[in-house]
Amino acid sequence: MTGMIYPAIIMGGLGLIFGALLAFASKKFHVETDPRQANIRAILPGANCGGCGYPGCDGFAEALANGTGKITGCAAGGSALADSIAAILGVQAEKDEPKIAFLKCKGSNDKTVKNCVYYGEYDCRAAAVVPGKGPTSCAFGCMGLGTCVSVCAFHAMTIKNGLAVVDAEKCVGCGACVENCPRDVLVLVPRKSKVNVSCNSPLKGPDVKRVCSVGCIGCTLCAKSCPVQAIEMKGALAVIDPAKCINCGICVTKCPTKSITDRRTNEEKAVSAVKETISV
Amino acid sequence: MKLPSFWGGIHPPQKKDATVNKKIEKYLPKGDLVFPMAQSLGAPCQPVVKKGDRVLVGQKLGDSEAFVSAPVLSSVSGTVKDIALRLTSAGIYENCVIVENDGLYEKDPSWAPLDNYPEADPKEYLKRIREAGIVGFGGATFPTVVKLSPPPDKVIKWLIVNGVECEPYINCDNRLMLEEPEKILEGLRLMLRLFPEAEGVIGIENNKPEAIKTMESEVSKQGDNKISVVPLAVKYPQGAEKMLIEAVTKQEYVMTALPADVGCIILNVRTVHQIREAIAAGEPAISRIITVTGEAVAEPKNIHVLLGTSMRELIDFCGGFREQPVKVISGGPMMGVSLRSIDIPVVKSTSGILALTASNSHLAPESACIRCGRCFEGCPMGLMPSVLNPLVLMRDYKAFEETGGMNCIECGACSYSCPANRHLTQSFRDGKSTIMAMRRKAAVK
């Protein structure tokens, strides 16, 4: 019987001593964590797209908790998420416009000249370093090798007929594709901007015509016909200012090379047509 | 005796036989001449002539204020037909001055031999080299005057003349050494006046025994003990700056150092030859020697050609194509660039035109790495291509930099030695250029 008492006392005593040590250590070396960080992390989408500029959602939550992150930084979550983050942090969320990726190129395989056979690695970034900066004869247009497809965390990009196609329903405007496009032919535009120039080539008309039948030739017809002067010519490339544009679609009908994309629905088109007739 | 060389490297087939015994022929252009404004490493030039202007041989067509840049000179006399975008060997449409040749070859009177040039102030040489638009004719087209103006605290011990020509097929430097060795030596002696402490070394690979013999007999004839000829073992890429320094000076090269840091300046034989021509004969950099070769060319030749001549004319001069080429390359097969068209002007960097048939430009599809390590053995910079390649594919740029990826010289030895045909060199170019772009973006911010 006595044989059991001593081990029990020793084990119990050791347990008490270590317990006390642990209790002391947990008080002494306590790390202050912001409880808001975990709360914010829980409501972030968790796709780790990196569109906010931080290493994944964890990094973004930490930045938000210590006050360096922007509340509207998560494009994937949109304004609803920004509101919930603002509620957790106890601040007012400023409204950021929802954005969408847009391809400034219409030069699909049948519309452009491809004058070499590309054997190399199937990635736009790798193709951009070979002589001629890629397989397309236009040095500014979409190569269609799908870097944007591989970096999109929301499966919003596909390649069709040599061009990147943005799925408007899936795109959250995180900008990962824009960041990784070696030709800067993808841009973020406000979702409400429905009429955009689909060309990225600053070259003059004949030089564009030589390689592509749907590129902007810099004829200035759109700029002249715009009722609100929202179109500016940057060199030989028309650029629509989304802040001024009223999505009337007049430029789309004027463009001789059909290089302006109209993403309005039929209803929207009808509404602006009615407005036009009234104003006339 | 074992000849000096460097660590690593590969042994591609030489294939130089087709043009090795062909004398350099002079070709005068028939059509218009096209002068791209970006012909040297560094800032591109801006045109200094207008449409309709009459220009003379050696007259400046474009210049730039930047230090790292070289002017572009007209190689013919005639009228400026247009200033427009034209396809160049870079594969893109670049700003070019187009000159209509009047066939008179009237020379700009300001181009005369430098007065009393063997005794002139060496500073005058540098001015001349800049005005003559001389760049490294080896292919990198680095402005020579920048190379010859090292920081004053660097002592230059070796002035190395690069007669290695390790690219397969190409023979232009070899022929120049055989035909005009005295001019190369004179150019080297003029450059040695700039660096009194330096010794002149001419490095030539052992597959050019005739050239070694010619240069050696020329050196001994003139009895100059400051100049020596060093035969080197045959290995690619011996003509690369860092490899040549390692082979000639027998000192291990620090990967990130510049040649001037280890007391070396390297000039291609044609560059030295051109320097002599500019100083002693008043002949600016308006021409170069190129090898037109490859299995698809009917009659391969070495041609002395005026810059701006269309490549199509040169191929016609060589009897056209024997069979339809599937790949035409400007430069050699290892580091040259494939062309999209042959209506492209010859520029300062064009060392050759290589037309390959389907049978000798076959490219098998890429397959998985088998960890054989041949790329490790081939890499002259001591890098680990098979480790770096997945880092680029996974876009782990930080690890790519830490593993030394930025030191890659893009010689293509890894891609050549890879039995799985992996696109190694391309991926490193991609990684390097992406990192450089990221650094530039960070600097702007």
B307 lies in some domain: no
Are B138 and B268 contained in the same domain? yes
Considering the domain architecture, whether residues B267 and B386 belong to the same structural domain is answered as: no
Q: Which residues of B touch A (CB under 8 A)?
A: 85, 89-93, 337-341, 363, 366, 392, 423, 426-427, 429-430, 433-434
pLDDT of residue A272 exceeding 80, the answer is no
User: If you search the block for the tokens 């042959």, which residue do you land on?
Assistant: B342
**Integer angstrom CA distances of residue B161 from B166, B169, B194, B268:** 14, 20, 15, 6
Q: Do B341 and A115 touch (CB under 8 A)?
A: yes
b/e per residue B373-384 (b: at least 16 CB within 10 A): ebbbebbbbebb
Q: What is the mean pLDDT of residues A258-271?
A: 86
CA neighbor of A213 nearest in space, from A110, A124, A129: A110
Alpha carbons B242 and B254: distance in angstroms, whole number? 9
Q: Which of B227, B251, B281 is the last residue of a domain?
A: B281
Domain assignment of residue B245, yes or no: yes
Total domain count, chain B: 2
Which residues in chain B come in under a pLDDT of 50? Answer: none
Rounded to whole angstroms, what are the CA distances from B273 to B267, B270, B291, B306?
A: 10, 5, 17, 16
- B341 close to B87: Cβ distance less than 8 angstroms: yes
Q: Read off the CATH number of the domain in which B179 is found.
A: 3.40.50.11540
- A207 — contact with chain B (CB < 8 Å)? yes
Look at the alpha carbons of A30, A34, A37, A40 in this order and tell me if their dihedral is positive or negative. Answer: positive
Which residue segments constitute the domains of chain A, with CATH numbers given?
A: 35-89 (1.10.15.40), 97-191 (3.30.70.20), 192-280 (3.30.70.20)
| List of residues 6+ apart from B432 with CB closer than 8 A | B405, B406, B408, B410
Exposed (0-12), middle (13-18) or buried (19+): which is B317, by Cβ within 10 Å?
middle
Chain B residues close to A123, C-beta within 8 Å: 430
Least confident of A24-28, A69-73, B304-308, B331-335: A69-73
pLDDT in tens, A1-13: 678 899 999 999 9
What residue numbers bound the domain in which B385 lies?
A: 374-444
* Assigned domain for B51 exists: no
Which residue of A126, A137, A207 is in closest CB contact with B426? A126
- The answer to whether B29 and B313 have CB atoms below 8 angstroms apart is yes
pLDDT at A236 over 80: yes
The per-residue pLDDT for A68 is 83
- Residues 6 or more apart from B351 whose CB is under 8 A from it? B137, B138, B139, B167, B170, B172, B288, B290, B291, B331, B332, B336
| Residue B242 sits in the same domain as residue B126 | yes
**Which amino acid is located at B385 in the chain?**
P
Whole-number pLDDT of residue B139: 79
Distance CA B69, CA B64 (A): 7
Residue B161: strand, helix, or coil: strand
Q: Which of A54-63, A76-85, B47-56 has the highest average model confidence (pLDDT)?
A: B47-56
Q: Which residue of chain A is at minimal alpha-carbon distance from B90?
A: A131
pLDDT at A280 over 60: no
pLDDT of residue A121: 86
pLDDT of residue A95: 67
Q: What is the pLDDT of residue A65?
A: 85
- Quote the CA–CA distance of A213 and A113 in Å, as a whole number: 9
List all residues 6 or more positions away from B221 whose beta carbon is below 8 Å from its beta carbon: none
Task: Show the CA angle centred on residue A201, arms to residues A198 and A207, nearest 5°.
Answer: 120
**B341: chain A residues, CB-CB within 8 Å:** 115
Token match 């000849």: residue?
Answer: B3
Chain A CA closest to residue B88: A132
Q: Which residues of B fall within a CB distance of 8 Å from A137?
A: 340
In this prediction, residue A279 carries a pLDDT of: 61
Listed residues B239, B266, B281: the one ending a domain: B281
Cβ-Cβ contacts under 8 Å, B425 against chain A: none
Residue A6 vs residue A67, higher pLDDT: A6
- Yes or no, beta carbons of B93 and A139 under 8 Å apart: yes
Lowest mean pLDDT among A74-78, A121-125, A231-235: A74-78
Tell if the CB–CB gap between A129 and B426 is shorter than 8 Å: yes
Distance (Å, rounded) from C-alpha A120 to C-alpha B393? 13
B232: part of which helix (H) or strand (E)? strand B227-232
Domain identity same for B131 and B239: yes
Residue B239, domain member (yes or no):
yes
In a domain, B198, yes or no: yes
Please, are residues B33 and B98 in contact by the beta-carbon 8 Å criterion? yes
Q: What is the spatial distance between Cα A8 and Cα A31, in angstroms, rounded to a whole number?
A: 35
CB pairs under 8 A between A and B: 49
Q: B276 and B406: one domain?
A: no
Q: A139 to chain B: nearest residue by CA? A: B92
Q: When comparing pLDDT for B367 and A71, which is higher?
A: B367
- Calculated CA dihedral for residues B180, B199, B159, B221, nearest 10 degrees: 0
Residue B423 lies in a domain: yes
Q: Do residues B168 and B335 lie in contact, with contact meaning Cβ atoms separated by under 8 Å? A: no
Measured CA to CA in angstroms, residue A151 lies from A77, A125, A148, B230, B308 at distances of: 18, 12, 5, 52, 43
Q: What is residue B176's three-state secondary structure?
A: helix
Residue whose tokens read 């700029």: A223
Q: Which of A53, A174, A187 is nearest to B442 (CA)?
A: A53
Count the residues in chain B: 445
Which two three-digit tokens encode residue B46?
Answer: 């801006």
Last residue of a domain, one of B246, B281, B316: B281
- Same domain, residue pair B275 and B384: no
pLDDT at res. A94? 67
Q: Which two tokens stand for residue B366?
A: 């890429």
Q: What angle, rounded to 10 degrees, do the helices at A78-89 and A56-65 form?
A: 40
Asked, for residue B101, whether it belongs to a domain, the answer is no
Is B48 inside any structural domain? no
pLDDT of the residue at A114: 77
Task: Encode pLDDT of B161-177 as tens digits.
Answer: 999 999 999 999 999 99
**Domain shared by B153 and B269, yes or no:** yes
